[in-house]
Amino acid sequence: MKINRISLSSLAVAILLVLPLLVETVQADPVRCAGCKTEHFLIQHLAAPYEALSGVKLLPGGSGNKKAILLFVDGKINFAYTCKPHVKLAKKFKLDPAATANWVSTAIAKDPIVVVANSGCGITDLTLDQLKGIFSGSIQNWNEVGGADLPIIVAHLDDSVESGVVTVFKETTVGAKANLNPLAKKLKSPPQLGSFAKATAGATTFMGLNSYEDKFGTLVSINGANPDVANVVNGSYPLSVTYHVVYDPTQSSEAEGFLGFCATQQGQDLINEMMVAIPQKNVVLP
């Protein structure tokens, strides 16, 4: 696979600037897109501001990666949004290489999950394998990983909460089809999880980076990497999923207009409200 380092084309920016002028006289057709059920929250967050700036209505659907890619192959959506680059998905779904020959994948955001431990646990760093053991239940005392002699009490968001945090955490630790510790305390919001970790001896939990507050407890590094923006963007912090926009620049310009918005300061700020924006100049496209 040939890797080229590129930035968004000037065409995308031009499209973004011209669209508000065109919409005054001609109502633009809505842009249809679908994809990863977790990235869907981000696309929804961007949709209304994008329409306000460009006059183009974005119609996202949280269909999952596979269905979105098949919809894109059939020409039923303008672009897909996925948690893997299209080359991996095309191989996984056994697509005809000719059908995807012109596709590109632009990474727009990373979704980092942070691990929080009660300050009395005596832990500031864990390996990924230790983290798997803790949240699967196979490691039950902090002294097994070099911490205090305290039983481990895990907590995470309740299954009824509409969030992709638990899904992302499972994908990057125990595996998407595996189970977290069935004895885990389940709560309704990150602030509740943070308060629980702060007040409960031996407690640990996880949440999105943007939900964390210092008062919740110790922010645990993983494999020696802190979850700061630099480590998230360069990939050294492992609890993170990269989200892409998959499109065919030879067929339409709708995705480039949306990516042009993502590259603006407003777009970057909006992405950072939920995740970590990837500066478009650093995007690597397969």
For the chain, domains (ranges, CATH) are 4-110+240-285 (3.40.190.10), 113-234 (3.40.190.10)
Looking at the chain, the whole-number percentage of residues with pLDDT higher than 70 is 88
Per-residue pLDDT at 171: 85
pLDDT of residue 16: 52
pLDDT digits (tens, 9 = 90+) for 191-241: 999 999 999 999 999 999 989 999 999 999 999 999 999 999 999 999 998
Token couple for 268: 């970057």
CA dihedral 162, 163, 164, 169 (to 10 degrees): -120
22-53 tens-digit pLDDT: 444 345 789 999 999 889 999 999 999 999 99
Q: What is the pLDDT of residue 6?
A: 39
Alpha carbon distance 124, 155 (integer Å): 18
Question: pTM of the prediction?
Answer: 0.77
Question: At 65, which helix (H) or strand (E)?
Answer: helix 65-73
For the cut 90, the answer to whether the pLDDT of residue 167 exceeds it is: no
Question: Residue 210's pLDDT is what?
Answer: 86
The answer to whether the CB of 263 falls within 8 A of the CB of 11 is no
Q: Which residues pair with 220 in a beta bridge?
A: 115
Q: How confident is the model at residue 160 (pLDDT cuts 50, 70, 90)?
A: confident
Backbone angle region of 57, left / alpha / beta, with phi > 0 → left and psi within -120 to 50 → alpha: beta
Give the span between the Cα atoms of 132 and 170, in whole angstroms.
Answer: 9
CA distance 200 to 18: 55
How confident is the model over 125-143, as pLDDT tens digits? 999 999 999 999 999 999 9
Return the pLDDT at 194. Answer: 97
pLDDT exceeds cutoff 90 at 164: no
Residue pair 285/105 in contact (Cβ under 8 Å)? The answer is yes
